[in-house]
Amino acid sequence: MNNNLYNYILGIADNSLILGQRLGELTGHGPSLETDIACTNISLDLFGQVRSYFQYAAKIAGDDRTEDDIAMLRKERDYVNVLLVEQPNTNFAYTMARQFLFDVYHLAFLSELEKSKDLTLSAIAKKCIKEVRYHERFSSDWVKRLGDGTAESKTKMQNAINDLWTYTDELFHQTEADKAMVKEGIGVDVTKLKEAYYNNVKELLEEATLEIPESKYFQKGGKKGIHTEHLGYLLAELQYMQRAYPNMEW
């Protein structure tokens, strides 16, 4: 089994899995029927992407583990998603700010992954990128609406951006698996995405009449399995059925 490739796929897929779960929490609780359905749609898009990645990972693992085992039966420290995507739905501004800060990265990442020498990853990226282009359109639209909206919506969006900003730098950290895969022409060199990312994000924040946070201190650890307190609760909910009724199926 190619450990680097396996870990590399998990590094991509866990972001979508955890973000999808977060958005799924809003099912039936969105601020309006229309936004509720939109968030659920995005969540389903992300879960669909996760399935493609984990099916591939299960194939690479070559033992009897399935996509569900990989998604549901790991311990907290074995999840390698970035800290950003596990942050809670504090309010709708946080949900959209988190989505926006991730989508801009996700879109740039997939545009590069399309060029991967690994044909499966490249095919998955080609399929996902259309979905993510819409996610990015949806979330940046809401950042603009709330930022350039009422005094109250502006305060909420600014607070969300300020709080989540500290998790953005980690998106561009390389893991060992990253480095190995970049060397083989399979992986994306995320360090090269950083400059364009911050330019795009700043441009939109200016359009949304929001202030760009100046914080120089950034949180990290998710990619190494060291998470914020929020992930444990999320996993408890995500994994409950498989833990309570092992091997249950629909």
Partner 1 sequence: MATKNWPLWEIFVRSKNGLEHRHFGSLHAADAEMALENARDVYTRRNEGVSIWVVESKNITASNPEHNGELFEPAQDKVYRHPTFYDLPDEVKHM
Residues within the interface to partner 1 (CB under 8 A): 32-35, 37-38, 41, 134, 137-138, 141, 145, 152
Residue 209 or 215 having the CB closest to partner 1 = 209
d(CA 175, CA 213): 26
Min dist. Cβ of residue 52 to partner 1 (A): 19
Min dist. Cβ of residue 190 to partner 1 (A): 29
Residue 38 or 238 having the CB closest to partner 1 = 38
Residue 77 or 137 having the CB closest to partner 1 = 137
Closest CA to 129 of 142, 116, 141: 116
Residue 121 or 146 having the CB closest to partner 1 = 146
Min dist. Cβ of residue 35 to partner 1 (A): 8
Residue 37 or 226 having the CB closest to partner 1 = 37
Min dist. Cβ of residue 140 to partner 1 (A): 11
CB-based contacts of 187, cutoff 8 Å, min separation 6: 8, 116, 177, 178, 180, 181
Min dist. Cβ of residue 42 to partner 1 (A): 9
Min dist. Cβ of residue 25 to partner 1 (A): 18
Residue 76 or 141 having the CB closest to partner 1 = 141
